[in-house]
Amino acid sequence: MTPAEHRQHRIGLLLVAGAALAWSTSALFVRNISADLMTMLFWRGLFSGAGVFTLFLLLEGRGTLKVLRSLRWPTLAVAVLSAGAMITGISSLRYTTAADAMVIYATVPFMTAALAYFVIGEKPSRSTLIGSTVALAGVGVMLWGSEMGGSLFGQFLAVLMTLGMAGFTTLMRRHREVPMLPAMALSAWLCSLFCFWFADPLSISGTDFLLCAAFGVLQNAIGLALYTFGSKRVPAAEATLLAALEVPFTPLWVFVFLHEVPNLQTLIGGGIVLTALFLHIASEFTRRPAARAVPVA
């Protein structure tokens, strides 16, 4: 890895970590919005898509139409896979336990590593595999004794969610030259379209409407944008590993802002996950880039 590539890799690490932190605030919004789940997700998707697309417009300026005309199948594929991951993730919680869904989701770095290797020939580093294994063990500790054994259909949906995330992360890594912000905006709108048939959008209160707007922009749109920029700079498996920061930080924000004290298992397991990820990030930041070859006169 050259010094320039190493610098981009560091930036990517920070961007993906930032995306995970943004996504980890979801519980704060869910706990404070009284609207039903599908209505909340419908409005969140609309605002999220609008937020991401507005950022795309600001970045591209007058070249927006030219970029949109040049988009091809990778953009649409990423949008469909991302929307599919959102929809199946939401639906899995209705048919299986949260513990089942979280354990399956924790395997996403391994699924991504396998997919990236076979599709684009990208091998995960040993540090990524070790970090993924330790993080999975930490999730197991967090969920020790939780209710398991949800329906097979719900578990199947959770697997689809994991494959969807692995798929669109690999595609974004493979097609780094393609602008993917439109894909992220479209994925949020597709999720809203799905939720619309089960929602009651006009029943929402003014307070919930504003909270849904903040939910869409601050939690989802910022997360999607940061992940889009970051996943182009780091290997696919590493990107999904860092996204696991969402798992321990979610109960942390609930504790800090809503004063809900997590149980001992959550503290221990979350500490294991955080330690694994922070050590991985630290090792990548301290690793020296390869020296550039100097031609001999």
The model carries a pTM of 0.90
- Name the DSSP letter for residue 202: G
- How many percent of the chain have pLDDT more than 70? 94
CB-based contact 30:254 (threshold 8 Å): no
pLDDT in the model for residue 106 = 85
Q: Is 71 exposed, middle or buried (0-12, 13-18, 19+ CB in 10 A)?
A: middle
Q: Confidence class of residue 147 from pLDDT cuts 50, 70 and 90?
A: low
d(CA 297, CA 295) in angstroms, rounded, equals: 6
Q: Is residue 151's pLDDT more than 90?
A: no
pLDDT tens per residue, range 15-56: 999 999 999 998 899 889 999 989 999 999 999 999 999 999
d(CA 267, CA 252) in angstroms, rounded, equals: 9
d(CA 89, CA 73) in angstroms, rounded, equals: 24
- Annotated domain spans of the chain: 3-286
> Which residues are within 8 A (CB) of 12 and not within 5 positions of it... i.e. 6 or more apart?
229, 230, 231, 232, 233, 234, 239
Q: Confidence class of residue 148 from pLDDT cuts 50, 70 and 90?
A: low
pLDDT in the model for residue 293 = 45
- Pairwise pLDDT comparison (294 vs 245), residue with the higher score: 245
- Here the tokens at position 154 are 């719900």
- Average pLDDT of the chain is 89
Task: Report the amino acid identity of residue 173.
Answer: R
pLDDT in the model for residue 97 = 73
54-68, 74-88, 159-173, 274-288: least confidently modelled range:
274-288
For the CA atoms of 275, 279, 280, 282, what is the dihedral angle to 10 degrees?
Answer: 140
Q: Is 168 exposed, middle or buried (0-12, 13-18, 19+ CB in 10 A)?
A: buried
264-268, Cβ contacts within 8 angstroms, sequence gap of 24 or more: 265/141, 265/142, 265/143, 265/144, 265/145, 266/142, 268/141, 268/142
Q: How far is CA 27 from the centre of its chain?
A: 15
19-23, 89-93, 277-281: least confidently modelled range:
89-93
pLDDT tens per residue, range 210-258: 999 999 999 999 999 999 999 999 999 999 999 989 888 988 898 899 8
pLDDT tens per residue, range 165-187: 999 999 999 999 889 999 999 99
pLDDT in the model for residue 235 = 94
pLDDT in the model for residue 168 = 95
Q: How many CA atoms are closer than 13 Å to the CA of 148, on its beta-carbon side? A: 10
108-117, 140-149, 260-269: least confidently modelled range:
140-149
